[in-house]
Amino acid sequence: MVSEDKLHGSCQCGVVEYEVSGLDLTQSITCNCSRCQRLGSVLAFAPRSNFTLIKGNDALSEYLFNKHAIRHQFCKICGIQSFSFGATPDGGEMVAVNVNTLDDVDPRQLQSTHVDGRSS
């Protein structure tokens, strides 16, 4: 299911809020890289242009690791990583949303594909 409707999400403390549309929940992934495994992230992707940060830009901090290709954004107050920015293989800007931070979406109901990021 590709959500054409805007989905709302936030960090735990609510200081960072966002909306995203065009999120393909049928293509969600889990990953065992050193970051995703520790976070327990369930990720779904959309074009960057479909993402709007509603509030909390000043509360965001960025973390880069490994190849520095993905800009992980997290709340400086509660520490929750709600989303990341990166590029698709063809160079298009994309957002990776941590489905755990979406309102009214239960990531445990998704048939996520496991990605072996540890071996990449």
* d(C-alpha 72, C-alpha 86), whole Å: 9
* d(C-alpha 115, C-alpha 83), whole Å: 18
Take residue 36 and report the two structure tokens written for it: 């995703």
* d(C-alpha 93, C-alpha 75), whole Å: 22
On the question of pLDDT at 2 being above 70, the answer is no
* d(C-alpha 20, C-alpha 43), whole Å: 13
Longest dimension (CA), the chain: 36
114 band by pLDDT with thresholds 50, 70 and 90: confident
Residue ranges of domains in the chain, CATH in brackets: 2-113 (2.170.150.70)
Task: Give the global pTM.
Answer: 0.87
